[in-house]
């Protein structure tokens, strides 16, 4: 994570990453009764330390997330969506366009991360056919956004990235993935 600055320019002392929060945690029986995206967002801020290991950075990310988790995570973004729902669409579009333009002018990359979770602990059967592999892919995000996601199927973790070319170059994504692999090796 300390090396995600390869992608997240300009280099600053602190970085933030958008993380999805499952809002079903606030519902009775932890379910909506329907398939839906019921997610909120939190943005932990992490001070960058170039000389620290992946594990050291991970500990600080966990500490930041533990603090967030103790404060009803995701509810502020859900409340924000309720406020936006009451506004005129043209006003909301203008707000988002201004935020987008500001990020582009500042040369910012805005990484987002989601944990899709466990798809299945064991292989899924479709009649007599067994699914050998399964994963969920990160949504494609237009620059300056960059989305990452993790899912697990049959004990195997898959990490995916969603980005839009040519605004985000494949070379930068490959360099980022190489840094992640090197940190985990």
Tens place of pLDDT for every residue, the chain, 185 residues? Answer: 444 444 445 545 677 778 888 888 888 876 766 656 678 888 888 887 778 877 888 888 888 888 888 888 888 888 888 899 999 999 999 998 898 888 778 777 777 888 888 899 999 999 999 999 999 998 888 777 788 889 999 999 999 998 888 888 888 888 888 888 887 77
pLDDT at residue 34, as a whole number = 60
13 φ, ψ (degrees, to nearest 5): -65, -30
pLDDT at residue 2, as a whole number = 42
> Residues 6 or more apart from 107 whose CB is under 8 A from it?
9, 10
> Residues 6 or more apart from 43 whose CB is under 8 A from it?
16, 17, 18, 19
Q: State how far the alpha carbon of 63 is from the alpha carbons of 70, 114, 166, in Å.
A: 11, 18, 36
pLDDT at residue 1, as a whole number = 40
Look up the pTM and report it.
0.67
CATH of the domain at 19: 3.30.559.30
pLDDT at residue 184, as a whole number = 76
pLDDT at residue 33, as a whole number = 62
Q: Which is nearest to 173 in space by CA: 152, 133, 143, 136?
A: 143
Asked if 147 contacts 141 with a C-beta cutoff of 8 angstroms, the reply is yes
Paired sense of beta strands 156-162 and 145-153, if any = antiparallel
Paired sense of beta strands 18-22 and 14-16, if any = unpaired
- CB burial of residue 70 (10 Å; 0-12, 13-18, 19+): exposed
* Domain extent at residue 85: 2-184
pLDDT at residue 5, as a whole number = 43
Give all strands (DSSP E) within the chain, no chain letters.
14-16, 18-22, 39-42, 45-47, 110-120, 125-126, 129-130, 145-153, 156-162
Question: From CA 28, how far away is CA 25, in angstroms rounded?
Answer: 8
For the chain, what is the domain count?
Answer: 1
């Amino acid at each position: 994570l300390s090396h995600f600055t390869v992608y997240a320019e300009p280099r600053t002392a602190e970085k933030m990453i958008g993380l999805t929060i499952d809002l079903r945690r606030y519902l009775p029986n932890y379910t909506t009764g329907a398939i839906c995206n019921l997610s909120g967002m939190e943005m932990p801020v992490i001070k960058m330390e170039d000389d620290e290991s992946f594990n050291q950075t991970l500990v600080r990310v966990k500490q930041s997330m533990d603090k967030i988790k103790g404060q009803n995570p995701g509810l502020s973004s859900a409340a924000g969506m309720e406020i936006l729902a009451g506004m005129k669409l043209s006003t909301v579009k203008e707000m988002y366009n201004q935020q987008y333009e500001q990020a582009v002018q500042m040369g910012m990359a805005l990484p987002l991360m989601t944990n899709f979770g466990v798809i299945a602990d064991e292989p899924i059967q479709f009649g007599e056919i067994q699914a050998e592999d399964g994963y969920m892919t990160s949504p494609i995000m237009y620059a300056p956004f960059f989305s990452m996601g993790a899912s697990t199927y049959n004990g195997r973790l898959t990490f995916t990235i969603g980005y839009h070319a040519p605004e985000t170059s494949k070379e930068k994504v490959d360099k980022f993935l190489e840094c992640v692999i090197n940190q985990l090796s």
